[in-house]
Amino acid sequence: MSARSHPAPHQPTRPARVVTWLAVAVLIAHALSLAWLASRWREAPAMPLMGAPMLTRTISQQAPAPQPVAQQPKPVVAPEKPARPAITTIAKTTIVQTPTAPPPEPPVAAPTPSPAPVVEPQPPTPNNTLASGPGGNSGPPQNGFAVGPMPPPTPSTPQGSVTDVLASWPGDTRLRYRVSGFFRNELNGDAQVVWQRQKDRYQVQVDVSLGLLGGFVMTSQGHVAPHGLQPSAYQETRGGGRRTVAALDDQFVTLNDGKQVPRPDGVQDTASQFVELSHQFATGRALLQVGKTVTLPLARPGGVNDWTYDIVEEVTLYTPRLGPVQAFHLKPRPVANPRGPINVEMWFAPSLQYLPVRIRINMDEKTYLDLLVDKIEVQ
């Protein structure tokens, strides 16, 4: 009996294999797209930025004007005391000289009364009438001149108005820095701080680039108010577009995790503090003197803390293009409940419009970034 032959197993044809691979590729693409969308969903929306500023010139050092200070109330002057009688000492004998009264004058005889003369009434003359103004209006003379109808008041800009407030802030400015530092090895790069204002809206952006190691950008936006900058949003962008945000409204600061905390008066953020402090020093709202301190509430994505800076010294910084620069060193005190070891030291130069000519960002004892000014561009 011959062996029974079995049919060969069915083999998929070439078109079927192509369709299978295409289906697998589509599923993988859908999975990656969903993962990307999920990451973008968790990521905060990008902040709309102002256009690049048009800067046409650079500035150099100038002799700083005396820093203005707030006016102090005038001292109250005590009334003068009456002069005491003069005392003369002669041969251990004290003689008190008192003013003597003048001798009385002889009495004057009263004049004999005489009948009063009769005066004829006279009609009024033009010299005794009040001058009339235009339209026949008249009024009493003031300071020797006749007064007519009052002209309408001339409109003027009151002190402390929005126009006055904005005039005290500089135009668009960019500070370029050379960056050095250390993170497992020496670091080098460049950075810039850009200030922009459109009417009462402002934007401050701190952009640090470290080459192949990447970098980060800190952006603050808000309004210019009579008491200083009033941030409304703060954003940090690091490595591949990961963003952390703090939103600030009139009453609360919304942190990155959605938690809300009360908004302190005068609160700033990590980026706006550089411009706010520069303006305070330039206008005399804060004194840039060794031994003084300045305190700011700072809002960051993780929380709000009061930061106090001590003005610890005046030093000479040697910059690449601007030469030796005298600057005041601000060093932060430790905060009560730190959320990490990061802190910022700053150096402000009166000869360069009180701008921050050096910024040192300390990550920990061995990791830091040091920004030294190289060029300052303005409108």
Please report the sign of the dihedral spanned by the C-alpha atoms of residue 286, residue 291, residue 297, residue 300.
positive
Angle at 192 between CA 190 and CA 182, to 5 degrees: 40
d(CA 331, CA 271): 17
What letter would DSSP give residue 132? Answer: B
Q: What is the predicted pLDDT for the residue at 339? A: 66
Q: List phi, psi (to 5°) of 273.
A: -60, -30
The structure's pTM equals: 0.66
For 6-32, b/e burial (b = at least 16 CB within 10 A) is eeeeeeeeeeeeeeeeeeeeeeeeeee
At 319-344, the pLDDT tens digits run 999 999 999 999 999 887 666 678 99
Q: Quick check: 302 and 339 in contact, CB under 8 A?
A: yes
Rounded CA separation 241/214 (Å):
11
Region of residue 269 (left: phi > 0; alpha: psi -120 to 50; beta: else):
beta
What is the pLDDT at residue 18? 65
Cα 329 to Cα 167: distance, rounded to the nearest angstrom: 28
pLDDT value of residue 81 = 52
Burial degree of 177 (CB within 10 A; 0-12, 13-18, 19+): buried
Question: Which of 278, 244, 237, 240 lies closest to 258, judged by CA?
Answer: 244
Q: Tell me, what DSSP letter sits at residue 143?
A: T
Long-range contacts of 315-318 (CB under 8 A, 24+ apart): 315/347, 317/347, 317/349, 317/357, 317/358, 317/372
pLDDT, residue 45, reads: 63
What's the pLDDT score for residue 33? 53
Given the structure tokens 């601000």, which residue do they identify?
330
Which residue type occupies 272?
S
The helix (run of H) or strand (run of E) holding residue 17 is helix 14-42
Q: What are phi and psi of 350, to 5 degrees?
A: -60, -30
**Would you state the structure tokens that stand for residue 21, as one six-digit string?**
């691979």
- Token pair, residue 41, equals 């969903």
Task: Annotate 47-60 with DSSP letters as a single string.
Answer: PPPPPPP---EE--
What residue ranges define each of the domains in the chain, with the CATH number in brackets? 162-378 (2.50.20)
Strands 173-182 and 186-198: antiparallel
pLDDT value of position 6: 56
Tokens 């409204």 belong to which residue?
249
What 3-state DSSP class applies to 180?
strand
Ranges of the chain whose pLDDT falls below 70: 1-45, 65, 69-162, 240, 242, 337-340
**What count of other Cβ atoms lies within 10 Å of the Cβ of residue 156?**
7
pLDDT at 233: 95
pLDDT computed for residue 107 by the predictor: 56
Token pair in block for residue 243: 């963003």
Look at residues 269, 275, 90, 66 and name the one whose alpha carbon lies nearest to residue 173.
275
Q: What is the pLDDT of residue 95?
A: 46
pLDDT digits (tens, 9 = 90+) for 43-102: 556 788 899 899 989 999 988 867 776 554 455 455 555 555 444 444 444 444 545 555
Distance CA 244, CA 339 (A): 15
